[in-house]
Amino acid sequence: MSNIGIVLGRFHRKEVEEMLDEARTVAARRGLGIVAEVWVPGSMEKPLAIKRLLMRDDVAGAVALGIIERGETEHGNVMGHAVIGSLIDLQLQFMKPVGVGILGPGINPSQIPPRIRPYAAAAVEACADLIEQG
């Protein structure tokens, strides 16, 4: 059995807890163990937490879950691009997959509920697929 770690943003804690529930279900179905669930303040802190997980020998991949909601400025958009770029760089640096289940940037509140479980599931599925290919 391969192990993964999950990093979660607590800014939208209620919604992200639902994402975590879905991620746990999919990981179990795919035969993945979850060795760490790391809560961070928001998306900007996710790359460092993901890097710490990927450095571990017992972690074959990681998943980032959270929400970057539409704001009144471009902050979320800029942050989203920076975070996603960093997560891609970490995959290539460590040659371990990072499944990204971050809703947004720029998502409207009404768009969040129907996407919570599908985004979390897709992130774990992507990670699992690449672990299997490795």
Active site residues: 75
Q: Are strands 2-9 and 32-40 parallel, antiparallel or unpaired?
A: parallel
User: Per-residue DSSP letters for 96-131?
Assistant: --EEEEEEEEEE-GGGSGGGHHHHHHHHHHHHHHHH
**Cα radius of gyration (the chain):** 14
